[in-house]
Structure 1
Amino acid sequence: MNFYSKIYQESGFSKYWTQTIFWLVFYALNFYFSPDEISLSKALLWSGGNTLIFIIAVTINLKVLLPKFMLRQSIFSYLALLIGISLLLTPFITLFNVWIRNDYATHNHNPLVQAHFHFINLVIVTALSSLVRIPLEWLKIQSEKNELIAKNMETELQSLKNQINPHFLFNTLNNLYALTLKKSDLAPQIVLKLSDMMRYMLYECNESEVYLEKEFQYIENYIEIEKLRHASESQITLHFDPTLYTKKLAPLLLIPFVENSFKHGLQASLEKSYIDIQANCINGFLEFEVTNSKPPSMPGIGLAPKTGGVGLDNVKKRLNLIYPDQFKLVINDQPDYFSVSLKIKLKDSPND
């Protein structure tokens, strides 16, 4: 469909020449089938007159009748108008032909017979012009709709992506602030990690897809920052399948799940808090799972906690926009743990 849409959306100059060539061919065919008994000059005139009347019929059809038909979806009104225009033009083309051939009029050139013949030809040619134009108009409308949908999706995706940056920055600056209050020597390390992460967000995440190796590095930097401010007894397990490194995915889709796990999984009220992050490649699918401990007194943390739920709500919207019907998201909210499992079909890099 895109190929034919491009054909339709050709420049005005190209359309002009296409129509000109068509009518020149039409004129040539008229001249070729002109009556043998008329002179060359009259054959040229006969062909030109017939072509002109057909141009008028087709132009009225395409510029006036067809747009009204397509707008109102009234086939019967359109056919009535088409027949009416053909009837209106039939006397002109008939009289023109009688005038051209008046010196050779016989019973074979009866004006009534000619009128019937020209009327049928006018109806057929104008109807054929509609059969050509209707699919092209439909393609044009579909192309415009697809462009509008794509623009709306791009705008919404950009808006959602823009929400991620301040959300992450807000959380990290809170961490940095807590360490500076303690006058911790770890603050400079956080600043360096934060610098790497911001560089990735500013220069890499403008692409529609990024290599998972870079996305995983971003997650590792985030985890390192979180480790600096959490108790050493917290257990954090991380595994990334190396075969995923050359695969591509929309940027910043995975980090909200990790952020959510740190927010709820490492609570001071938990004796043994843990977070387990696994990313594996199975049969061409990314299977990403994050499991974290949860205080028994915290029912249903879900994907939209009361505060700070921007990231997870955001990622669900992005998944629906970028990978409609191509992903599976499973939430398992138990009394003592919470897990999120995401499965997405991956694309190979061009070099694979």
Structure 2
Amino acid sequence: MLADNKLNDFLRRDSQKDYTINYKHHIIFWSIYFVFNVFRWSSIHDDFAYSLKTNIIGFPIHMLLAYFNVYYLMPKFVYTRKYVSYSILILVSLFIMLLVKYNLTYYLVSTNVWPEGPENIDSLTLDYAIQTMLGELYVISFVTAIKITVDRMRANSKLHNLEKRQLTTELKFLRSQVSPHFFFNTLNNIYSLTLEKSNKAPEVVLKLSELMRYLLYATKKRKQNLTSEVECIQNYIDLERIRFDDSLKINIDISGDLQNHTIAPMLLIPIIENCFKHGANKNIGDMFINIDLKVEGDFMYFQVVNTIPEKSQQSNMPTRIGGIGLSNVKKRLELGYNKNDYDLSIFEENNMFHVILKLKV
């Protein structure tokens, strides 16, 4: 439960990181840009007062054109692929800006509206018009590039978060499938014993209650202590031993340090269960299951070998892997572990069915 809560908190925090531009960012950007321009042009003209006045006049025009382009022209015309209309409107906007800026500069600041030009300009010339419009286009392009970059980052962030949520949801669903599937088969076993009025039924119920206690808590965690997982496997096998008596030979070999390692809960049980459901349950002759689990370094090596049902051998049909079983294990490994952290092999050899799992724990 704690691990799931931490995962949900992480996803919630990550989803909130959507690169939203708020009013503070606008104020900081334009303030820095304004100060930079004032000092830049004051050094060029060697006239701080003139630079300050022209930037006070020019910056509202910069901002108006930039926001008009970013929040109206682009969504309405660029995103809808109306490029000709967009180009015309940009040119019209720049020309209107030119007229406004020229008149404000001429009447409020200086009759020489283009002091950086080759000569004193007190009228609306073609060179002045082109240079002024190009300068304004530079500002628009700079602001637009920032907006597009932030929008792309926001879109990528949302897509990434959506993919993570989908994977997390699918993983939780697969984990939740294990318990009902497991109990369904075990309850069928108990039902069979009660029909036979077997004295083993109470012992089976007791073992099942121990498993239920484990499953009630373990499957809510992303990782469970490997020792607890092995105990769960042993309880399950004890249940099956009661049902099959001496007709089933089970060899279990467990070695290595289990204490300091963790594993996705109920990951191994479907592999063990598959031996009984598609092996022992359908076998007529001697039944054999070999389980070998060892921990070496950071990896667990888990191998299960079971007798292939005699009917399957006679009909030359491959052993059926049914229901959730091993497909659930494969999917949970894909979603819960990195590709290099596990290796799963499933094959038949010498009338035996093999499942070999190498897993980083």
TM-score by length of 1: 0.81
1:342 maps to: 357
Tell me what 2:120 maps to: 108
Q: Distance in 1 between matches of 2:284 and 2:101?
A: 94
| Paired position in structure 1 for 2:310 | 296
Any conservation in 2 of the 1:93–1:118 contact (CA below 8 Å)?
no
1:89 aligned to 73, 86, 97, which one? Answer: 97
Q: Which residue in the other structure is 2:179 paired with? A: 165
User: Is the partner of 1:206 in helix, strand or coil?
Assistant: coil
Secondary structure in 2 matching 1:231:
helix
Question: Aligned pair in 2 of structure 1 residues 29, 294: CA closer, same or farther (>3 Å)?
Answer: closer
**Equivalence map 1:95-174=2 (5 Å):** 95-103=103-111, 107-110=119-122, 111-112=124-125, 113-174=127-188
1:9 aligns with 2:10: no
**Equivalent residue number for residue 19 of structure 1:** 26
Q: Is the 8 A contact 1:291 1:338 kept in 2?
A: yes
Residue number among 56, 79, 86 corresponding to 1:48 in the alignment: 56
Within 5 Å, which residues of 2 pair with 1:184-223?
A: 184-223=198-237
| Secondary structure of the structure 1 residue equivalent to 2:346 | strand
Give the C-alpha shift of residue 281 in structure 1: 3.3
Query: Would you say the 8 A contact 1:294–1:337 is kept in 2?
Result: yes
2: CA distance, partners of 1:319 / 1:145: 23
Letter in 1 for 2:103: L
Change (3 A) 1:150 1:73: farther
**Structure 1, 43-52 or 332-341: larger mean CA deviation:** 43-52
Summarize the Cα distance change of 1:70–1:315 in structure 2 as closer, same or farther, 3 Å threshold: farther
**3-state SS of paired residue (1:297):** helix
Distance 1:221 1:64, change over 3 A: same
Q: Percent identity?
A: 30
Q: Which of 72-81 and 23-32 deviates more?
A: 72-81
Tell me how far 1:291 sits from its aligned partner: 0.6
Q: 1:244 to 1:67 in 2, by over 3 A?
A: farther
Question: Is the alpha carbon distance of 1:145 and 1:268 closer, same or farther for their aligned partners in structure 2, counting shifts above 3 Å?
Answer: closer
Contact 1:293/1:337 (<8 A) preserved: yes
1:17-45 CA distance string (max 9 Å, x none): 1211222233334444356669x5x8655
1:262-284 Cα shifts (integer Å, max 9, x gaps): 12332575432111112233563
In 2, the alpha carbon distance for the partners of 1:154 and 1:267 equals 34
Helix, strand or coil for the counterpart of 2:311? Answer: coil
Aligned residue runs from structure 1 range 249-260, under 5 A = 249-260=263-274
Equivalent pair of 1:279/1:287 in contact (CA under 8 Å):
yes
What is the CA distance between 1:83 and its match in structure 2? 5.2
Which residue is equivalent to 2:326? 312
How much does 1:218 deviate?
A: 1.3
The 1:334/1:245 distance shift into structure 2, 3 A limit, reads same
* Per-residue deviation, residues 322-345 of structure 1 (Å, max 9, x unmatched): 336343322212462111122333
Q: Structure 2 length as normaliser, TM-score?
A: 0.80
Once the two structures are superposed, residues 107-149 of structure 1 have per-residue CA deviations (whole angstroms, 9 ceiling, x without a partner) of 3335434433321221112111222222221211111112222
Letter of the 2:32 partner, please give it: V
Query: What is the CA-CA distance between 1:101 and the residue it aligns to?
Result: 3.3
Q: Equivalents in 1 of 2:326, 2:17: separation in Å?
A: 43
C-alpha distance in 1 between matches for 2:76 and 2:292:
60
Whether the aligned pair in 2 keeps the contact of 1:94 and 1:118 (CA below 8 Å) is no
For structure 2, the 5+ residue unaligned runs are: 1-10
Superposed CA RMSD in Å reads 3.2
Tell me if structure 2 keeps the 8 A contact 1:329–1:341.
yes
Structure 2 CA distance for partners of 1:269 and 1:44, relative to 1, 3 Å: closer
Whole-angstrom distance in 2 between the partners of 1:47 and 1:92: 14
Deviation at 1:217, TM superposition (A): 1.5
Mapped pair 1:61 → 2:66: no
Change (3 A) 1:8 1:209: closer
Work out the CA distance in 1 between the residues paired with 2:348 and 2:200.
Answer: 34
Change (3 A) 1:311 1:37: closer
Q: Is the 8 A contact 1:65 1:78 kept in 2?
A: yes
SS in 1 for 2:220: coil
